[in-house]
Amino acid sequence: MAEPIWISEKNVVELMNLPEAIEALEKGLALEANGETQNMVKTHVAWDHNNLHAIGAAYPGEGFVGTKTWAHTSGGACPLLILFDAQTGQLVAIIEAFALGQMRTGGISGVATKWLAPEKADVLALIGTGKQALAQLAAVHAVRPLRQVRVFSPRAESRRAFIEKAGERFDIDLVESTSVEHALEGVPMITTVTRATQAFVHAADVAPGAHINAVGAITGEREELAQDVFARCSRAVVDDPAAAQRLSSEFIQAFGTGNRSGHDWSRVSSLSKVIASGRRREAGDDITVFKAMGMGVSDLALGIELYRRATARGMGQMIPQPQRSMPRLTR
Protein backbone atom coordinates (compact mmCIF):
# COMPACT_ATOMS: atom_id res chain seq x y z
CA MET A 1 0.00 0.00 0.00
CA ALA A 2 1.54 3.32 -1.07
CA GLU A 3 2.19 5.94 1.57
CA PRO A 4 0.17 9.13 1.28
CA ILE A 5 1.84 12.51 0.95
CA TRP A 6 1.36 15.90 2.58
CA ILE A 7 1.52 18.67 -0.03
CA SER A 8 2.39 21.99 1.56
CA GLU A 9 1.49 25.53 0.52
CA LYS A 10 5.05 25.94 -0.74
CA ASN A 11 4.65 22.82 -2.88
CA VAL A 12 1.31 24.03 -4.27
CA VAL A 13 2.76 27.38 -5.31
CA GLU A 14 5.76 25.70 -6.96
CA LEU A 15 3.61 23.16 -8.81
CA MET A 16 0.84 25.33 -10.30
CA ASN A 17 0.15 28.90 -11.40
CA LEU A 18 -3.22 30.56 -11.96
CA PRO A 19 -3.39 30.22 -15.79
CA GLU A 20 -2.65 26.49 -15.37
CA ALA A 21 -5.38 26.31 -12.73
CA ILE A 22 -7.87 27.83 -15.19
CA GLU A 23 -6.97 25.11 -17.71
CA ALA A 24 -7.39 22.37 -15.08
CA LEU A 25 -10.74 23.79 -13.99
CA GLU A 26 -12.06 23.89 -17.54
CA LYS A 27 -11.07 20.23 -17.99
CA GLY A 28 -12.79 19.29 -14.73
CA LEU A 29 -15.97 21.09 -15.76
CA ALA A 30 -15.93 19.29 -19.10
CA LEU A 31 -15.73 15.98 -17.24
CA GLU A 32 -18.68 17.04 -15.08
CA ALA A 33 -20.72 17.89 -18.18
CA ASN A 34 -20.00 14.40 -19.56
CA GLY A 35 -21.10 12.74 -16.32
CA GLU A 36 -17.58 11.59 -15.51
CA THR A 37 -17.43 13.31 -12.14
CA GLN A 38 -20.03 13.82 -9.44
CA ASN A 39 -20.27 16.79 -7.12
CA MET A 40 -21.02 16.54 -3.40
CA VAL A 41 -23.54 19.22 -2.42
CA LYS A 42 -21.87 21.88 -0.31
CA THR A 43 -22.80 21.88 3.35
CA HIS A 44 -22.10 24.37 6.10
CA VAL A 45 -22.99 25.26 9.66
CA ALA A 46 -22.83 28.76 11.13
CA TRP A 47 -22.14 30.03 14.63
CA ASP A 48 -21.83 33.66 15.64
CA HIS A 49 -20.26 35.22 12.52
CA ASN A 50 -18.32 32.07 11.59
CA ASN A 51 -18.96 29.20 9.16
CA LEU A 52 -17.75 25.60 8.84
CA HIS A 53 -17.82 24.42 5.20
CA ALA A 54 -17.43 21.04 3.50
CA ILE A 55 -17.41 20.28 -0.23
CA GLY A 56 -16.26 17.29 -2.23
CA ALA A 57 -16.44 15.31 -5.45
CA ALA A 58 -15.88 11.90 -7.00
CA TYR A 59 -13.66 11.47 -10.08
CA PRO A 60 -13.91 7.67 -10.39
CA GLY A 61 -12.55 7.58 -13.92
CA GLU A 62 -9.49 9.48 -12.71
CA GLY A 63 -9.17 7.21 -9.67
CA PHE A 64 -9.85 9.78 -6.97
CA VAL A 65 -12.51 11.04 -4.57
CA GLY A 66 -12.06 13.71 -1.95
CA THR A 67 -13.26 16.56 0.18
CA LYS A 68 -12.16 20.04 1.16
CA THR A 69 -13.14 21.45 4.51
CA TRP A 70 -12.43 24.67 6.34
CA ALA A 71 -13.70 26.82 9.18
CA HIS A 72 -14.02 30.48 8.20
CA THR A 73 -13.80 32.27 11.54
CA SER A 74 -13.06 35.75 12.83
CA GLY A 75 -9.74 34.33 14.02
CA GLY A 76 -8.71 32.84 10.67
CA ALA A 77 -9.06 29.61 8.71
CA CYS A 78 -7.17 26.42 7.83
CA PRO A 79 -8.49 24.79 4.63
CA LEU A 80 -7.38 21.23 3.82
CA LEU A 81 -8.14 19.10 0.76
CA ILE A 82 -8.07 15.34 1.34
CA LEU A 83 -7.71 12.90 -1.57
CA PHE A 84 -8.65 9.21 -1.35
CA ASP A 85 -8.18 6.35 -3.79
CA ALA A 86 -11.56 5.78 -5.48
CA GLN A 87 -11.09 1.98 -5.53
CA THR A 88 -9.59 1.26 -2.11
CA GLY A 89 -10.74 4.25 -0.07
CA GLN A 90 -7.19 4.68 1.23
CA LEU A 91 -5.68 8.09 1.91
CA VAL A 92 -3.68 9.42 -1.04
CA ALA A 93 -2.81 13.01 -0.07
CA ILE A 94 -3.55 15.91 2.22
CA ILE A 95 -3.10 19.26 0.51
CA GLU A 96 -2.83 22.60 2.29
CA ALA A 97 -5.41 24.64 0.45
CA PHE A 98 -4.96 28.38 0.99
CA ALA A 99 -3.29 28.99 -2.39
CA LEU A 100 -5.33 26.19 -3.98
CA GLY A 101 -8.51 27.88 -2.79
CA GLN A 102 -7.44 31.26 -4.17
CA MET A 103 -6.59 29.69 -7.53
CA ARG A 104 -9.90 27.80 -7.58
CA THR A 105 -11.97 30.86 -6.63
CA GLY A 106 -10.12 33.14 -9.02
CA GLY A 107 -9.77 30.50 -11.71
CA ILE A 108 -13.48 29.68 -11.90
CA SER A 109 -14.17 33.37 -12.55
CA GLY A 110 -11.52 33.19 -15.27
CA VAL A 111 -13.33 30.27 -16.93
CA ALA A 112 -16.68 32.07 -16.70
CA THR A 113 -15.19 35.29 -18.07
CA LYS A 114 -13.64 33.38 -20.98
CA TRP A 115 -17.04 32.00 -21.96
CA LEU A 116 -19.43 34.81 -21.05
CA ALA A 117 -17.67 38.20 -21.21
CA PRO A 118 -17.51 40.30 -24.39
CA GLU A 119 -14.60 39.04 -26.47
CA LYS A 120 -12.84 42.41 -26.72
CA ALA A 121 -13.56 43.60 -23.18
CA ASP A 122 -10.49 45.13 -21.55
CA VAL A 123 -11.83 47.12 -18.57
CA LEU A 124 -12.83 45.55 -15.24
CA ALA A 125 -14.62 46.97 -12.22
CA LEU A 126 -13.34 45.16 -9.14
CA ILE A 127 -15.55 45.64 -6.09
CA GLY A 128 -13.80 44.38 -2.97
CA THR A 129 -10.11 44.40 -2.06
CA GLY A 130 -9.83 41.50 0.39
CA LYS A 131 -7.65 38.40 0.24
CA GLN A 132 -9.40 36.96 -2.85
CA ALA A 133 -9.35 40.18 -4.90
CA LEU A 134 -5.88 39.93 -6.41
CA ALA A 135 -6.50 36.41 -7.74
CA GLN A 136 -9.81 37.58 -9.19
CA LEU A 137 -8.07 40.39 -11.07
CA ALA A 138 -5.37 38.00 -12.29
CA ALA A 139 -7.90 35.42 -13.48
CA VAL A 140 -9.84 37.92 -15.60
CA HIS A 141 -6.55 39.30 -16.93
CA ALA A 142 -5.50 35.77 -17.95
CA VAL A 143 -8.45 35.42 -20.34
CA ARG A 144 -9.22 39.06 -21.23
CA PRO A 145 -5.97 41.11 -21.21
CA LEU A 146 -6.88 44.19 -19.22
CA ARG A 147 -6.17 47.79 -20.07
CA GLN A 148 -7.77 49.28 -16.96
CA VAL A 149 -9.16 48.13 -13.60
CA ARG A 150 -11.38 50.36 -11.48
CA VAL A 151 -11.07 49.44 -7.82
CA PHE A 152 -13.63 50.12 -5.12
CA SER A 153 -14.00 49.17 -1.49
CA PRO A 154 -15.59 51.29 1.24
CA ARG A 155 -12.29 52.22 2.92
CA ALA A 156 -9.93 54.50 1.02
CA GLU A 157 -6.87 52.99 2.70
CA SER A 158 -7.89 49.52 1.51
CA ARG A 159 -8.34 50.73 -2.06
CA ARG A 160 -4.95 52.40 -2.11
CA ALA A 161 -3.14 49.50 -0.50
CA PHE A 162 -4.65 47.12 -3.05
CA ILE A 163 -3.74 49.37 -5.97
CA GLU A 164 -0.17 49.56 -4.73
CA LYS A 165 0.04 45.78 -4.36
CA ALA A 166 -1.57 45.09 -7.75
CA GLY A 167 0.63 47.71 -9.41
CA GLU A 168 3.72 45.75 -8.38
CA ARG A 169 2.44 42.69 -10.28
CA PHE A 170 0.52 43.95 -13.28
CA ASP A 171 1.14 46.57 -15.97
CA ILE A 172 -2.45 47.79 -15.91
CA ASP A 173 -3.99 51.23 -15.41
CA LEU A 174 -5.37 50.90 -11.85
CA VAL A 175 -7.96 53.55 -11.01
CA GLU A 176 -9.24 54.27 -7.51
CA SER A 177 -13.04 54.63 -7.53
CA THR A 178 -14.70 56.44 -4.67
CA SER A 179 -18.11 54.88 -5.30
CA VAL A 180 -19.61 51.72 -6.75
CA GLU A 181 -21.36 53.85 -9.37
CA HIS A 182 -18.08 55.33 -10.61
CA ALA A 183 -16.44 51.91 -10.73
CA LEU A 184 -19.27 50.41 -12.79
CA GLU A 185 -19.86 53.26 -15.23
CA GLY A 186 -19.60 51.94 -18.78
CA VAL A 187 -17.42 48.92 -17.92
CA PRO A 188 -17.95 45.60 -19.76
CA MET A 189 -16.79 43.33 -16.90
CA ILE A 190 -17.52 43.42 -13.18
CA THR A 191 -16.26 41.23 -10.35
CA THR A 192 -17.78 41.50 -6.87
CA VAL A 193 -15.82 39.81 -4.10
CA THR A 194 -17.13 41.18 -0.81
CA ARG A 195 -18.77 40.13 2.44
CA ALA A 196 -21.68 42.54 1.94
CA THR A 197 -25.06 41.78 3.48
CA GLN A 198 -26.96 44.34 1.39
CA ALA A 199 -27.06 44.51 -2.41
CA PHE A 200 -24.96 47.28 -3.92
CA VAL A 201 -24.92 46.48 -7.67
CA HIS A 202 -28.06 47.90 -9.28
CA ALA A 203 -29.14 47.45 -12.89
CA ALA A 204 -29.19 51.18 -13.60
CA ASP A 205 -25.43 51.30 -12.95
CA VAL A 206 -24.52 48.30 -15.15
CA ALA A 207 -23.59 48.94 -18.78
CA PRO A 208 -25.53 47.11 -21.53
CA GLY A 209 -23.92 43.79 -22.36
CA ALA A 210 -21.74 43.66 -19.24
CA HIS A 211 -20.62 40.41 -17.61
CA ILE A 212 -20.67 40.05 -13.81
CA ASN A 213 -18.71 37.56 -11.72
CA ALA A 214 -20.54 37.50 -8.36
CA VAL A 215 -18.12 35.82 -6.01
CA GLY A 216 -18.64 37.08 -2.47
CA ALA A 217 -22.13 36.12 -1.30
CA ILE A 218 -21.89 32.36 -0.73
CA THR A 219 -24.01 32.09 2.42
CA GLY A 220 -27.63 33.06 2.93
CA GLU A 221 -27.05 36.23 4.93
CA ARG A 222 -24.92 37.82 2.19
CA GLU A 223 -25.95 39.68 -0.93
CA GLU A 224 -24.21 41.72 -3.64
CA LEU A 225 -26.58 41.94 -6.63
CA ALA A 226 -29.92 43.76 -6.54
CA GLN A 227 -32.91 41.95 -7.99
CA ASP A 228 -33.28 44.39 -10.89
CA VAL A 229 -29.97 43.03 -12.22
CA PHE A 230 -31.70 39.69 -12.80
CA ALA A 231 -34.57 41.40 -14.59
CA ARG A 232 -32.05 42.40 -17.27
CA CYS A 233 -30.08 39.17 -17.13
CA SER A 234 -29.84 37.34 -20.48
CA ARG A 235 -27.94 34.41 -19.01
CA ALA A 236 -27.60 33.34 -15.39
CA VAL A 237 -24.86 30.77 -14.78
CA VAL A 238 -23.60 29.12 -11.58
CA ASP A 239 -20.85 26.66 -10.80
CA ASP A 240 -23.09 24.55 -8.51
CA PRO A 241 -26.87 24.94 -9.01
CA ALA A 242 -27.73 22.83 -5.95
CA ALA A 243 -25.63 25.04 -3.68
CA ALA A 244 -27.09 28.20 -5.19
CA GLN A 245 -30.63 26.91 -4.59
CA ARG A 246 -29.80 26.41 -0.90
CA LEU A 247 -27.40 29.23 -0.06
CA SER A 248 -27.58 32.12 -2.55
CA SER A 249 -30.19 34.59 -1.33
CA GLU A 250 -29.77 36.57 -4.57
CA PHE A 251 -30.62 33.61 -6.80
CA ILE A 252 -33.34 32.31 -4.46
CA GLN A 253 -35.10 35.68 -4.64
CA ALA A 254 -34.67 35.84 -8.43
CA PHE A 255 -35.54 32.26 -9.36
CA GLY A 256 -37.43 31.00 -6.32
CA THR A 257 -38.80 27.48 -6.40
CA GLY A 258 -40.65 27.74 -9.69
CA ASN A 259 -44.09 28.26 -8.14
CA ARG A 260 -44.22 32.05 -8.49
CA SER A 261 -44.72 34.09 -11.64
CA GLY A 262 -41.40 34.65 -13.38
CA HIS A 263 -39.51 32.33 -11.03
CA ASP A 264 -37.96 29.32 -12.73
CA TRP A 265 -34.61 27.62 -12.06
CA SER A 266 -34.64 26.21 -15.59
CA ARG A 267 -33.42 29.69 -16.59
CA VAL A 268 -30.19 29.04 -14.65
CA SER A 269 -27.41 27.02 -16.30
CA SER A 270 -24.35 25.37 -14.81
CA LEU A 271 -20.97 26.50 -16.09
CA SER A 272 -20.18 22.93 -17.09
CA LYS A 273 -23.22 22.90 -19.41
CA VAL A 274 -22.12 26.20 -20.96
CA ILE A 275 -18.75 24.62 -21.79
CA ALA A 276 -20.36 21.42 -23.09
CA SER A 277 -22.73 23.38 -25.33
CA GLY A 278 -19.93 25.51 -26.77
CA ARG A 279 -22.24 28.50 -26.47
CA ARG A 280 -20.31 31.68 -25.74
CA ARG A 281 -21.74 35.20 -25.39
CA GLU A 282 -24.09 36.11 -28.21
CA ALA A 283 -24.54 39.51 -29.84
CA GLY A 284 -28.01 40.02 -28.36
CA ASP A 285 -27.06 39.24 -24.76
CA ASP A 286 -27.49 41.97 -22.17
CA ILE A 287 -26.16 41.34 -18.66
CA THR A 288 -24.67 37.92 -18.01
CA VAL A 289 -24.17 36.80 -14.42
CA PHE A 290 -21.90 34.08 -13.12
CA LYS A 291 -22.41 33.04 -9.51
CA ALA A 292 -19.50 31.19 -7.90
CA MET A 293 -20.58 29.21 -4.85
CA GLY A 294 -17.51 26.99 -4.64
CA MET A 295 -17.79 23.27 -5.38
CA GLY A 296 -15.89 20.08 -4.90
CA VAL A 297 -15.54 19.36 -8.63
CA SER A 298 -13.42 22.51 -8.92
CA ASP A 299 -11.24 21.86 -5.87
CA LEU A 300 -10.67 18.24 -6.87
CA ALA A 301 -9.76 19.28 -10.42
CA LEU A 302 -6.86 21.24 -8.96
CA GLY A 303 -6.06 18.77 -6.18
CA ILE A 304 -5.75 15.80 -8.56
CA GLU A 305 -3.51 17.74 -10.93
CA LEU A 306 -1.35 18.93 -8.02
CA TYR A 307 -1.02 15.37 -6.71
CA ARG A 308 0.05 14.06 -10.11
CA ARG A 309 2.61 16.82 -10.52
CA ALA A 310 3.92 16.31 -6.98
CA THR A 311 4.43 12.56 -7.43
CA ALA A 312 6.03 13.06 -10.84
CA ARG A 313 8.56 15.47 -9.32
CA GLY A 314 9.09 13.61 -6.05
CA MET A 315 7.58 16.45 -4.02
CA GLY A 316 5.47 16.25 -0.87
CA GLN A 317 6.23 14.78 2.53
CA MET A 318 5.46 11.11 3.09
CA ILE A 319 3.07 10.48 5.99
CA PRO A 320 1.94 7.15 7.49
CA GLN A 321 -1.12 5.43 6.08
CA PRO A 322 -3.74 5.37 8.88
CA GLN A 323 -3.96 1.94 10.53
CA ARG A 324 -7.04 0.43 12.18
CA SER A 325 -7.18 -0.28 15.89
CA MET A 326 -9.95 -1.95 17.81
CA PRO A 327 -11.84 0.46 20.11
CA ARG A 328 -11.99 -0.29 23.85
CA LEU A 329 -15.53 -1.50 24.33
CA THR A 330 -15.61 -1.72 28.12
CA ARG A 331 -14.40 0.36 31.04
The pLDDT of residue 263: 64
Domain with CATH 3.30.1780.10 in the chain: 5-101+296-318
Rounded CA separation 233/249 (Å): 16
| pLDDT value, residue 236 | 96
- Averaged pLDDT for residues 289-296: 95
Q: How confident is the model at residue 262 (pLDDT cuts 50, 70, 90)?
A: low
Q: What is the C-alpha to C-alpha distance for residues 295 and 41, in angstroms, rounded to an integer? A: 8
pLDDT (0 to 100) of residue 44? 84
Which part of the chain is CATH 3.40.50.720?
Answer: 118-291
- pLDDT at residue 325 greater than cutoff 80: yes
Query: Which fold, 5-101+296-318?
Result: ornithine cyclodeaminase, domain 1 (3.30.1780)
Q: Stretch 23-29: mean pLDDT, rounded?
A: 97
Band of pLDDT at residue 24, cut at 50, 70 and 90: very high
Check pLDDT > 70 for residue 76.
Answer: yes
Provide the 10 A C-beta neighbour count for residue 169: 11
- pTM value is 0.91
Give 282 or 68, the one with higher predicted confidence.
68
pLDDT of residue 1 exceeding 80, the answer is no
Residues 315-331, mean pLDDT to the nearest whole number: 95
Q: What is the pLDDT of residue 21?
A: 98
Q: Give the CA dihedral 66, 71, 75, 77, nearest 10 degrees.
A: 10
134-138 own/partner pairs: CB under 8 Å, 24+ apart? 134/162, 134/165, 134/166, 134/169, 135/18, 135/102, 135/103, 135/105, 135/106, 135/107, 136/105, 136/106, 136/109, 136/191, 136/193, 136/213, 136/215, 137/166, 137/170, 137/191, 138/18, 138/106, 138/169, 138/170
Which CATH number applies to 118-291?
3.40.50.720
pLDDT digit string, tens, across residues 118-161: 999 999 999 999 999 999 999 999 999 999 999 999 999 999 99
The answer to whether 248 touches 291, Cβ cutoff 8 Å, is: yes
pLDDT, tens digit (0-9, with 9 covering 90-100), for 189-219:
999 999 999 999 999 999 999 999 999 988 8
The per-residue pLDDT of the chain, averaged, comes to: 94
| pLDDT tens track for 89-117 | 999 999 999 999 999 999 999 999 999 99
pLDDT, greater one: 322 or 261:
322
Look at residue 283 in the predicted model and tell me its pLDDT: 84
> How many residues belong to the chain?
331
